[in-house]
A and B are shown apart, each in its own frame.
Chain A
């Protein structure tokens, strides 16, 4: 018989005074130096706790309910769900039950999942070997693989560097939803609509779980009629599976110096902007895969496009731009709209309709940027750590595998008392490591420009295959790479034609994005004066250009001076601003759960 560990629902009664009071359940609210405030993340402009904050919720946080699980997972994406499923499989195999809870900020599982996606089923084969007989939405095998270099009017076919035989064109949002169903069948508890706003620590600075955001707080920080406290989800182990640039994950990485521990480099990123179109039957080839380089991007800007044919006449099309671009006038969204006007692309889309739109950042740091993924009380899985294989442009299979390995480590911790640090060993002994190590020198080679990058990549691909004895380094962090505006001229982008190209408002409508409007803005400025003083004057307000949701706008105030306006309700949760803001002044925090985009076929 398995040993069933029951959940205890209790009310924690820590008195949140500003003294070093340690609450009965063992943790002290104000010890953490990393600004992980005990008062939940939603509420008011960030102010140090000792100044009292704009509104005082301190006295209220002590009445949150506390619910205990063996494992708490933040994020119901491919990595988080793989971990949950693997855990439950191990429980069944070894007859030792564990309670697993997954919280997800999106309104349903898959709502915040966006990816190309040409899927390598390697991890899925290990996790759920019978997936073919269980109606997994992985049913369009890759039928062709093309690679073009584009100029403004022409397309030149290049030898295809990818090998996608055995892979499938999928909608990752759909696959994630299917995985969610599988996880629930195994007894995993999944709670969409709940945002993990803070990490919970004990008096020894170990992570003991997460706290969900309070809900029903109005724009000025006061409680609305519908106010509800968040809850504390305590886990013997906490796995953070928030995807690229996870808000809690970044805090944990910085707090425990997880990159320093293994001399990892900083993470580098790209922004992907994507649409799903329904095109003419006679233009549709299920499984066709196309990647392009070159136009509309210049030789200093790393990036390219993708066009994948799914089923039901649907195609995924998108443009990915590395966020270390230098020109502050670059507008990734407009570049994507421009891209669709290329004659070779236009002909495919004409006569079709757009079904959905979205955007998300992705990791490009690869092997060099992998942090030590273990912290006291938990681990990082998936893109929160960063296992995307950049030359393959695939991160789903490694994210899933990392979730599975974390589950195996977690199981041994909870059933045999080993240390969670075995996760690091499992990672380094797995195919993730071997694969990412082999792929490590492609992306950094592009620091020297497009042509040298292509040349070195060619050598790597055909000759060296990762066996060179050195590892190339990344350039500056993305936010430092932006040049001052005076070194560049503004780019004139063509107006949207409403047929192939669209304005942001129209695209946003197609992302099904929505947030409860009467809530504090979840995009926080560490210093409220910097946007007008620095961003605008030195860099011409780049956030008003790279944000794919038009969240940031400089509008004239009553005196005619330009002021930053934050339209937080539009946010697609892509995290580009958190990454690219030159002074790292913008902090993306998680808004009230259930908001954000509503992707279903992305």
Chain B
């Protein structure tokens, strides 16, 4: 069985981000970029499934600008067998990425798709779900544990939900999105980084896949959240009610 893992190149989690002076977005020039942490977890899970003998190949996919190749190389260094890069400069959104991935699924025919639950730059938490919808495949999102049964061709997924843990049984092929507690991703070792240079990364454009990237949303402005104002200490209940009524106007 082949597993396909989608990985995204995002601003590194340790970087203090700031909004561009023209308010069109976040400053990404000269800023360190890395693989989205949830995508690392997704890749790690795929590698463990392959190492346990339940899968034969792990393919890493990334959609984005030319530098995504660096992210794919990290994925290859972690252990993915080959990479696919769909090059697109700017203006991606979850639905477009899901459509691209659907086209790749039709070409590659994987038995399992693993994605990170969300990217740390836009926090959308949409791509995995939309992809499952487009493919009409079952989905197990926010996975904190994944167990495959190859014979019965099902996957048991523990999902982290608000009320606790929900366990679902999915027929394969399926889409799984990973949550933080699923695993600890491995380090890419130096020898593996060196070996990864010779692994293949296939390039596509969205046109090759007959996908049109368009967005129905337009970003008007990006601003920092307002600075938290200092609180006020009130001296009596009456003063509190007065403030709530006349200043905050909530009662």
Chain B: interface residue total (CB-CB under 8 A)? 19
Within the complex, the shortest CB–CB distance from B146 to chain A, in Å, comes to 17
Query: CB distance B191 to A600 under 8 Å?
Result: no
Chain B residues lying within 8 Å of A355, measured Cβ to Cβ, are: 18
Interface residues as binary, B1-42 with A (CB distance below 8 Å gives 1, 0 otherwise): 000000000001011101001000000001110100000000
Chain B residues lying within 8 Å of A233, measured Cβ to Cβ, are: 190
Find B190's partner among A67, A313, A353, A514 (CB 8 Å cutoff): A67
Chain A residues lying within 8 Å of B185, measured Cβ to Cβ, are: 226
A111 interfacial contact with B, CB 8 Å: yes
Chain A residues lying within 8 Å of B31, measured Cβ to Cβ, are: 600
- Measured in the bound complex, the distance between the Cα atoms of B15 and A601 in whole Å is 12
Within the complex, the shortest CB–CB distance from A147 to chain B, in Å, comes to 30
Within the complex, the shortest CB–CB distance from B223 to chain A, in Å, comes to 14
Interface residues as binary, A501-524 with B (CB distance below 8 Å gives 1, 0 otherwise): 000000001101110000000000
Query: CB distance A216 to B15 under 8 Å?
Result: no
Chain B residues lying within 8 Å of A212, measured Cβ to Cβ, are: 190
- Measured in the bound complex, the distance between the Cα atoms of B212 and A253 in whole Å is 61
With A174-B30, A278-B21 as contacts: A514 and B187 at CB distance below 8 Å: no
A228 interfacial contact with B, CB 8 Å: yes
Query: CB distance A512 to B15 under 8 Å?
Result: yes
Chain B residues lying within 8 Å of A313, measured Cβ to Cβ, are: 21
B186 interfacial contact with A, CB 8 Å: yes
Interface residues as binary, B173-186 with A (CB distance below 8 Å gives 1, 0 otherwise): 00000000000111
Within the complex, the shortest CB–CB distance from B149 to chain A, in Å, comes to 24
Query: CB distance A231 to B193 under 8 Å?
Result: no
A107 interfacial contact with B, CB 8 Å: yes
Chain A residues lying within 8 Å of B194, measured Cβ to Cβ, are: 67, 189
Query: CB distance A600 to B16 under 8 Å?
Result: no
Chain A residues lying within 8 Å of B18, measured Cβ to Cβ, are: 353, 355
Query: CB distance B187 to A510 under 8 Å?
Result: no
With A108-B32, A225-B184, A355-B18 as contacts: A598 and B190 at CB distance below 8 Å: no
B126 interfacial contact with A, CB 8 Å: no
With A226-B186, A228-B187 as contacts: A600 and B193 at CB distance below 8 Å: no
With A111-B32, A600-B30, A600-B32 as contacts: A228 and B189 at CB distance below 8 Å: yes
- Measured in the bound complex, the distance between the Cα atoms of B192 and A9 in whole Å is 12
With A108-B32, A111-B32, A512-B15 as contacts: A226 and B191 at CB distance below 8 Å: no
Within the complex, the shortest CB–CB distance from A571 to chain B, in Å, comes to 14
Query: CB distance A107 to B12 under 8 Å?
Result: yes
Query: CB distance B187 to A107 under 8 Å?
Result: no
Q: In A165-192, which residues have CB < 8 Å from any B CB?
A: 174, 177, 189, 191
With A174-B30, A278-B21 as contacts: A191 and B190 at CB distance below 8 Å: yes
Within the complex, the shortest CB–CB distance from B157 to chain A, in Å, comes to 21
Chain B residues lying within 8 Å of A224, measured Cβ to Cβ, are: 184
Query: CB distance A598 to B30 under 8 Å?
Result: no
Chain A contact patch, size range = 20 to 34
Interface residues as binary, B201-223 with A (CB distance below 8 Å gives 1, 0 otherwise): 00000000000000000000000
With A226-B185, A512-B15, A512-B16 as contacts: A601 and B30 at CB distance below 8 Å: yes
A372 interfacial contact with B, CB 8 Å: no
With A512-B14, A598-B12 as contacts: A215 and B30 at CB distance below 8 Å: no
- Measured in the bound complex, the distance between the Cα atoms of B34 and A510 in whole Å is 18
Within the complex, the shortest CB–CB distance from A421 to chain B, in Å, comes to 31
- Measured in the bound complex, the distance between the Cα atoms of B12 and A278 in whole Å is 22
A194 interfacial contact with B, CB 8 Å: yes
Within the complex, the shortest CB–CB distance from A503 to chain B, in Å, comes to 15
Nearest residue (CB) in A for B188 is: A193
Among B34, B185, B189, B193, chain A packs the most CB atoms within 10 A around the CB of: B189
- Measured in the bound complex, the distance between the Cα atoms of B17 and A509 in whole Å is 10
17 examples of A-B residue contacts, CB within 8 angstroms: A107-B12, A108-B32, A174-B30, A189-B194, A191-B190, A212-B190, A215-B187, A228-B187, A229-B189, A231-B191, A278-B21, A512-B16, A512-B32, A598-B14, A598-B32, A600-B15, A600-B32
Given contacts A67-B191, A231-B191, 17 further A-B contacts (CB under 8 A): A65-B191, A107-B12, A108-B32, A174-B30, A191-B190, A194-B190, A224-B184, A225-B184, A355-B18, A512-B12, A512-B14, A512-B15, A512-B16, A514-B14, A598-B14, A600-B15, A600-B32
Lowest 10 A-B CB distances belong to which pairs?
Answer: A514-B14, A600-B30, A231-B190, A215-B187, A228-B187, A512-B15, A228-B189, A65-B191, A108-B32, A512-B14
Residues of A within 8 A of B (CB): 9, 65, 67, 107-108, 111, 174, 177, 189, 191, 194, 212, 215-216, 224-226, 228-229, 231, 233, 278, 313, 353, 355, 509-510, 512-514, 598, 600-601
Residues of B within 8 A of A (CB): 12, 14-16, 18, 21, 30-32, 34, 184-187, 189-191, 193-194
